[in-house]
Amino acid sequence: MVLETCGSSLFLALPDDVFAIISRSLSPKGICNIGICCKSLCALVASEKIWLTQCDLVAIVPTRDLVEWREGVESYKALCRFLVRVKPLLGLWVHQNPELGNVVYVMPGFVSVVGCRIIPQELGPLGIEDGPILWAPVFEIIGAFDGSTTFLLHGREKGCDYFYPGSVESVEQNCNVLLLEVEPKAKRNGCKLIHSKSFAHHSNEEISRKVCRSNNGLLRSSGQSEAVIPFSRLNFGDRRKLLETVTSQISLKVTDSLSGPLFPQLREDAENFQKDLVLMLQRRSQLLQMFKFGNEQDCTDSKASIAMPAGPIQLELSDIRKSFDPSRTSNSLNGDDDQTRRNNRKSLGRYFRASIKQILRKPSSVNGGRAISKCNSSTSENRHAQLHEFLNSGDTIGLTLHASTMKLSFYRAWPNMHDTRFALYKLPMRVPREDQEYAGLWGGTFGWPPGRPTEDKPGKALFFLLLSYEETEGKHLLIATKILEGTHYVLHPNGSAMFIVNVDEPSLDPFPWDSDADSHPVSVKHAFMGEGIAHGYGFRYPGSKPGSLFVIQSGLLAFMWKESRVVLTLQRLDLQDLLKKGEQVPALPPIANFSYLTKSYSNVFTGFSNTSTCSSSLRYLLRPVFALFSPKVPLS
């Protein structure tokens, strides 16, 4: 006891600044453990300086940003709680469909993180650094006053932007898959009813029946809920219909006051940066007030005017049963027939009967419904669950985001993806080190000087390449994996290697140009032998031709095909800065906006229902070409 007292006294005798320095060697969990030792230490570790230090160690935003973010939360401890939870989400996420898109970069916003889709595009006359990169919002996760999280999916239907609120259910520290799902839950706060727009047509008597309903099979007499069936156990059709039904019920039109910036511009533009901070603080406060307003409503008030349901957004399962429409499809990208579908919803009972008939008529398939057998658990685990069993595992249902860790296989740096999961997959980003100095994200175009248009080609297709290293048969290889291209149609599949070079094999080929775009002399530091992509074995398995990779003194990389002398020039990207200087364009409808599962070889992201509000830079968006051309070596 004496030793414990002495130890506590020593801590308490330290100045706050000194203890804050010591706390840099502790984790947030370790600091919390110190706080439960005694009341005096609890007060000590509640210091704002200590938790500012912990926020700084999370290393999501610099210290000066943390000071500004502090205005939106109750304490630095609450801010640290938010930062620790969302940090694993930052980085590059992809999906293989369509072949020309679905690269999503998650970056800090304002007490939030924002998922931004990079639009396949051509570069304007200003090039990568100074030309606006076009992007569309996919989702944002907002930190509440106490550090908790709220999920907002973005989407566009009938020419209008919408929010689709939900919850962040889990974020694993090493997550590599982002899953958009629907999750049933037990009702919280007794009779507290979480509102949705679907309640507007119900009478008070109907709502009262929902609130006061007794044991109806969802909860057993023991007080334990049924085992929760994972959303992934449903067949693809049921998962898609549930997502469409839930998003149609919780969609919230984005008003002018909520359409402000999602992240500030660069600090170098001080005036606009401060304006953005004010707008973002107001927008965030309004969103959080709307969530709080929804939570405070009486559960028997069916006529309350609620702009946003409570977060996390949950719908009564009785409403889902009334509104579920199995005839909905996901083929429409503009949402023009959404209202027609909603007016023709079938009851859930009719859907079950139709499903049973379908099961009896034909054998089960990968995407078809399967009955849950009562045989051993290992067999039943591989079968699809029935929709009614999934719904019976809770009282309410809502949109959720799961950041999970899955065992994935890779083809070089590109993950092999599931065709029927509404998911984004994280790309393994390697921090450059002495023996792997070229690892990371690079962007570029074909031609020399780099990125400069010519009279016959006013726009240059923008390519994003992920450079990574691999040891194969004793060779130290540098592989440039294509993750985005801005051509009219797909020349090369996502995940293909634009070039592979052996960094242990120098090239003796000369670089054919003596000066760059600014007439500065070109100095080549290194040159490596390798092979570049070419036609030869078809679209998915293209051939290759010899070439050389040149490392230019200015920091550029240039791969040149030896035979054709076509050159692909690359520069390292700071994608966060590019997006802050970039330009926002409309999103796709919500489910397709998260992960577009339909195979396409043209630029689906140009199919906006209303582009009149966008600036003239949209002229660099590519026109869709609904045909697949044979891949070939690109020309400059």
Looking at 16-25, 112-121, 218-227, 569-578, which range is the least confident one? 218-227
Alpha carbon separation from 157 to 154, 180, 268, 332 (Å, rounded): 10, 19, 36, 10
Average pLDDT value for residue range 331-336: 40
Which stretch of 82-96, 392-406, 473-487, 618-632 has the lowest confidence by average pLDDT? 618-632
pLDDT (0 to 100) of residue 402: 96
Residue with tokens 């609130």: 211
Lowest mean pLDDT among 9-23, 268-282, 322-336, 567-581: 322-336
Predicted pLDDT of residue 614:
40
pLDDT at 294 exceeding the cut of 80: no
At 52 the pLDDT is 93
Mean pLDDT of the residues in the chain: 76
Residue 180 buriedness (CB in 10 A; 0-12 / 13-18 / 19+): buried
Band (270; pLDDT cuts 50, 70, 90): confident
Determine which of 98-107, 196-205, 408-417 has the lowest per-residue pLDDT on average: 196-205
pLDDT-derived band at 175, boundaries 50, 70, 90: very high
Residue 528 Cα to chain centre, angstroms: 36
Q: Is the pLDDT assigned to residue 406 strictly greater than 90?
A: yes
The average pLDDT across 5-32 equals 72
Q: What does the alpha-carbon distance between residue 85 and residue 468 come to, in Å, rounded to a whole number? A: 28
Between 49 and 46, residue with greater pLDDT: 49
Q: How confident is the model at residue 594 (pLDDT cuts 50, 70, 90)?
A: very high
Q: Which of 181, 179, 180, 171 is nearest to 89 (CA)?
A: 171
Torsion of CA 356, 598, 135, 567, to 10 degrees: 160
Would the pLDDT of 180 be above 70?
yes
Say whether pLDDT at 452 is over 90: no
Mean pLDDT of 472-501: 90
- The alpha carbons of the chain give a radius of gyration, in whole angstroms, of 27
Confidence of residue 396 (pLDDT cuts 50, 70, 90): confident
pLDDT recorded at residue 28: 83
pLDDT surpasses 90 at 603 = no
CB atoms under 10 Å from CB of 201, counted, come to 9
Q: Say if CB 493 and CB 539 are below 8 A apart.
A: yes
Closest CA to 137 of 573, 442, 461, 582: 582
* Report field, pTM of the whole predicted structure over 0.85: no
Max avg pLDDT among 225-234, 414-423, 537-546? 414-423
- CA 625 from chain centre, in angstroms, equals 27
What integer pLDDT is reported at residue 453 of this predicted model?
Answer: 61
Which one, of 396, 443, 400, 474, lies nearest residue 572 by Cα? 443
Least confident residue range of 31-45, 146-160, 240-254, 295-309: 295-309
For residues 504 and 149, what is the distance between their CA atoms, to the nearest angstrom? 48
- Residue range 410-419: average pLDDT? 87
Highest mean pLDDT among 100-109, 355-364, 407-416 belongs to: 100-109
Taking residue 562's Cβ as centre, other Cβ atoms within 10 Å add up to 16
Q: Name the percent of the chain lying above pLDDT 70.
A: 69
Of the listed ranges 13-17, 466-470, 502-506, the least confidently predicted one is: 13-17
Q: What is the mean pLDDT of residues 343-362?
A: 44
DSSP track, 99-118: TT--EEEEEE-SSEEEEEEE
pLDDT of residue 189: 45
Element (H, E) at 572: strand 567-572
Residue 19: per-residue pLDDT: 72
Output the pLDDT for position 490.
Answer: 86
Residues 6 or more apart whose CB falls under 8 angstroms from that of 155 comprise 161, 162, 164, 247, 251, 587, 588, 589, 590, 591, 593
Contact 615, 590 (CB under 8 A): no
**Most confident stretch, 124-128, 185-189, 307-311, 333-337:** 124-128
Three-state DSSP state, 320? helix
Q: Are 67 and 56 in contact (CB under 8 A)?
A: no
Strands (E), 7-133: 91-94, 103-108, 112-118, 122-123
pLDDT of residue 301: 32
* pLDDT at 166 (0 to 100): 92
Per-residue pLDDT, averaged over 463-480, amounts to 93
To the nearest whole percent, how much of the chain has pLDDT over 90? 42
